[in-house]
Amino acid sequence: MSRRMPTALSLGALLLGAACVQPAYDRVVVYRVAVPDTAVVKTVGLRGQGNPLSWNSDLPMAPVPDSAGLYEVTVTHHTGSLANEVKFTLNGQFEFEGEANRTVRVPPTAVGNDTTRYRATFNVR
């Protein structure tokens, strides 16, 4: 029985990958978006990278009680990244169609479980 030795390329990739590993923490982000009062609202959603978000389907946002046109959702990302890209949707349609995504940054932490509040207005930078 012979053992397969890693090649220089696979060993280098292994070492490079090991050097880039960051500890992952639960990062809680409360996303809140204001929708113009002129909009006909059926659904408001959030799309983005990283579970539980997806670019293919909305994470539904709920109306904020006693507010006019505010929607909110709380998302827990288990990640080592300090930034995430997202877009809001209105009735299934992306904001900023064909333009750059929003970048949401979270502060570095040694323990995780910090809550970041991200506030935006739909289709306004």
Domain at 110, CATH number: 2.60.40.10
Among 1-10, 33-42, 83-92, 94-103, the least confident range: 1-10
Q: Please give the pLDDT value at position 17.
A: 47
Residue of 11, 1, 95 lying closest to 47 (CA atoms): 95
Identify residue 106 by its one-letter amino acid code.
V
10 Å Cβ neighbour count for 97? Answer: 8
CA distance 21 to 23: 7
3 lies in some domain: no
**Tell me: the pLDDT tens digits for 69-96?**
999 999 998 888 899 999 999 999 999 9
1 lies in some domain: no
15 lies in some domain: no
Q: Which domain holds residue 100?
A: 22-121
17 lies in some domain: no
56 lies in some domain: yes
CA distance 41 to 38: 9
Its pTM stands at 0.80
Question: What's the number of domains the chain is made of?
Answer: 1
2 lies in some domain: no
113 lies in some domain: yes
Mean pLDDT of the residues in the chain = 84
